[in-house]
Amino acid sequence: MHDELSRGANAPIEAGGEAWTVGDGGGRCDRTGPGEQMTVELTAVVVSVQREQPLVLATGGVGASALPTARFNPNEQPSLETALREAVLAATGRETGFLEQLSTHYEPSASAGDAQDGSDSCLLVSYLGLARADDTQLAPGAGWIRCYDLLPWEDFRSGRPAVLGSHIMPALAAWADAGIDPEIAAARHERLHIAFAFGGRTWDDQRVVDRLDLIVEAGVTLPSMPAQLSPAHVRLVAAGLGRLRAKIRYRPVVFELLSSEFTLFELQRTVEAVLGPTLHKQNFRRLVEGTGLVEPTGDVRTNTGGRPAKTFRFRREVLLERPAPGVHVRPGRAA
C-alpha cells in the first residue's frame, strides 16, 4: 500500500526498518535532531482461541477498551519483551506465552506532555502474543474481544460472510468506479482484485490489513459493528491475525493456543478459528499425523458427547526434523 491511509498516523509499518539504539541519555534513543528525545510505547495483541472463537485481550472495561500497552524504561527493564509481559500481567492478570514483534511506527509522542517545546518523539512498537485457552480469571477491567466481531468479513467457517455480499463488495465496487480519473479507478480495482478476490481470484486469507484499509478508505458503513477498540487498535488486531495466519503454516505456533493434551478435533477447530474456513476432517488429520506434528498420549477422552477420542500432544522432535514444521493448509479459497 502506498496511499496516505496505509502509511498515515495510525498505520503500523512492518518491522525491519531503521534500527534504534539506547543512547547515553538515561534511556533515550539516538537523537534525530537537536533537543529531541525518544520514548518507546509498547502495545500487545494477545490472541487466544476459546470455545472455537479467536479472541484478543483488552483492558479498560466496557466502552473504553484498548489493547494492553506499556512504556519501556531501560533503567528498570532489560528488554522490550520483558516490559510488555510485565504490563500485560499487571493489567489483565494473564501470562503471555509466545511473543514476537509485529510492527513499528514512529510519530510525535501524543503522551509526551512534559516536553516544553513539543519536540519529544515516540516509537510505537507492537507485539503479537499468544495465550492458551483456559479459565484463568482476568483482572478487573480486562476482557476478551472476539476478533470476528471486529473483522466479520474474515470468518468463512459458516460459508461466505453475508456482510461481504450485502455491504462490502457493492460499496467497494462503487468506490472503485468513482475514481476521479481512469488511472485512479484502475489502481483501486487492482487493489480490490488482490485483497478481496474480485474477478474470481483466490481469496488470500493473510491480507487482513489490506482489506481493513480498503474498507476504511472507501468509507464503507457496516451494520452493528461494535466500537470496542480504537481504529488504530483494530488495525493492530488485523495485523496480528494476518501474521498468525501466515505463521501457523510454517511454525508450530498453533500449539501455543492449545492445552498440552488435545484431540485432533480440537486442533482442527483451533486452526479453522484462526484461518477462517472449515477444513476437510480426514485430509486435515492425515496432514498433521503424516507430517509428524503430533503424537498420541495413549489416553482417551470420554466427555466428547460422542465416541471416545484419542488425545495427542505436540511432538517437539519435529523442530529438528523439518525446517518449517507448521500446519501446511493450502492457502486461499474462493470469495
User: Cβ distance 217 to 231 under 8 Å?
Assistant: no
* Cα–Cα distance measured from residue 57 to residue 94, given in angstroms and rounded to the nearest whole number: 9
Cα-only R_g, the chain: 22
- Name the band, by pLDDT with cuts 50, 70 and 90, for residue 17: very low
* Cα–Cα distance measured from residue 97 to residue 80, given in angstroms and rounded to the nearest whole number: 15
Judged against a pLDDT cut of 90, whether residue 294 lies above it is answered with yes
What distance separates the 2 farthest-apart alpha carbons in the chain? 71
- Name the band, by pLDDT with cuts 50, 70 and 90, for residue 223: confident
What are the respective helix, strand and coil percentages of the chain, to the nearest 5? Answer: 35, 20, 45
Name the grid cell of 110: 501524543
Average pLDDT (27-53) is 75
Buried/exposed 157-187: b ≥16 CB within 10 Å, e otherwise: eeeebebbeebbbebbbebbeeeeeeeeeee
* Matching residue, cell 511432538: 315
The Cα angle at residue 248 between residues 246 and 251, in degrees rounded to 5: 110
User: Cβ distance 325 to 291 under 8 Å?
Assistant: yes
pLDDT of residue 307: 82
pLDDT per residue as tens digits for the range 126-161: 999 999 988 788 999 999 999 999 999 999 999 999
| Residue 135 exposure: Cα atoms within 13 Å on the Cβ side | 0
* Matching residue, cell 506434528: 293
* Cα–Cα distance measured from residue 150 to residue 118, given in angstroms and rounded to the nearest whole number: 34
DSSP character string of 67-115: --EEE--TTT-S-HHHHHHHHHHHHHS----SEEEEEEEEEE-TT-TT-
pLDDT of residue 44: 97
- Name the band, by pLDDT with cuts 50, 70 and 90, for residue 5: very low
pLDDT per residue as tens digits for the range 152-209: 999 999 999 999 999 999 999 999 998 778 999 999 999 999 999 988 888 999 999 9
- Name the band, by pLDDT with cuts 50, 70 and 90, for residue 220: very high
Between the alpha carbon of residue 50 and those of residues 61, 102, 144, 279, the distances in Å are 20, 22, 10, 18
Judged against a pLDDT cut of 70, whether residue 19 lies above it is answered with no
- SS3 state at 191: helix
Q: Phi and psi of 317, rounded to 5°?
A: -60, -20
* Cα–Cα distance measured from residue 58 to residue 44, given in angstroms and rounded to the nearest whole number: 9
pLDDT of residue 324: 84
* Cα–Cα distance measured from residue 233 to residue 247, given in angstroms and rounded to the nearest whole number: 21
Judged against a pLDDT cut of 90, whether residue 211 lies above it is answered with yes
Choose among 37, 38, 144: nearest CA to 92: 144
pLDDT of residue 50: 94
- Name the band, by pLDDT with cuts 50, 70 and 90, for residue 27: very low
Judged against a pLDDT cut of 50, whether residue 15 lies above it is answered with no
* Cα–Cα distance measured from residue 151 to residue 187, given in angstroms and rounded to the nearest whole number: 24
* Residue type at 95 in one-letter notation: E
Judged against a pLDDT cut of 50, whether residue 113 lies above it is answered with no
Highest mean pLDDT among 58-62, 75-79, 227-231, 252-256: 252-256
* DSSP type of residue 164: I
* Residue type at 175 in one-letter notation: W
pLDDT of residue 2: 33
Q: Phi and psi of 186, rounded to 5°?
A: -65, -40
Choose among 329, 331, 335: nearest CA to 195: 335
